[in-house]
Amino acid sequence: MREILGRRRRLRFRRKERTVQLDAALTCAVEWDWPVLPGVGLKATTRTSSGAGCVCPDPECVVPGAHPFDPGLLAATTDERMIRWWWARRPDAPVVLATGGRAPCAVSLPAAAGARALAALDAMDIRLGPVVATPTRWSLLVAPYGLERLGELLYSKDSVPGSLRFHGEGGYLLLPSTTADTARARWERAPLKGSARPWLPDVEAVVDALVEASTSTPGGGSRLAY
């Protein structure tokens, strides 16, 4: 009897742990109206393995576990039934946001430059929205922008570092859940609790600081890898 009860407790704990990604996906899609889909995820590790690789067929994947694959990006939705169906079958799948359209866009840069940019924006008293951090890159969520608008904005700059990435229409961004390290993303600046939908700054308000931080940070690099 003790063994059966212990097993039931472990199963309840595992089920509770695996609802975190679903809760995060439903918050984004249903409460915030952000289209999401499950990310590809990581292969299971063993004691003898050196690290978890991406489930996708690319052996040199630069964003392991942190991108769409099956379903593809165009399947992103805010439909609650579809989201529950996806995560019922893959409860540990990371949450991927399809950027642009009615959803947020984002600007990402290497982590060291991201920390420097946030400090500069705070010093200028510029209001920021959510910020996603991974071990190598930080992403600032901004209000949706079009390619024409972005092009005009960047054309006025003397130069734009290759390490700066723009996630707009047709792009995607890995979002954190409240669990630790399934996809190695966290909220550096979390959405305010209780808000109907997170507030987002215009890209014009932040891009100067991001360009400056990317240009002036030694060894900022241009790696996209998460």
Tell me, yes or no, whether 223 lies in a domain.
no
pLDDT for 183 equals 47
Q: Where are the beta strands (DSSP E) in the chain?
A: 36-38, 95-98, 105-110, 131-133, 137-142, 165-167, 172-175, 186-189
Q: Return the structure tokens found at 118.
A: 């946030």
Tell me, yes or no, whether 224 lies in a domain.
no
Q: What number is the average pLDDT over the span 189-195?
A: 81
pLDDT tens sequence across 34-60: 999 999 988 876 443 445 688 899 988
Tell me, yes or no, whether 226 lies in a domain.
no
User: Residue 17 in contact with residue 179, Cβ under 8 Å?
Assistant: yes
Tell me, yes or no, whether 108 lies in a domain.
yes
Residues of the chain above pLDDT 70, percent: 81
Neighbour count for residue 194 (Cβ, 10 Å): 5
**Domains contained in the chain, number:** 1
pLDDT for 219 equals 56
Tell me the whole-structure pTM to 2 decimals. 0.82
* Whether residue 179 has pLDDT greater than 60: no
Tell me, yes or no, whether 19 lies in a domain.
yes
Q: How far is CA 2 from CA 5, 6, 8, 9, 16, in A?
A: 5, 6, 10, 11, 21
User: Residue 42 in contact with residue 65, Cβ under 8 Å?
Assistant: yes
Neighbour count for residue 160 (Cβ, 10 Å): 16
Q: Which domain holds residue 101?
A: 2-216
pLDDT tens sequence across 111-150: 999 999 999 999 999 999 999 999 889 999 999 998 888 8
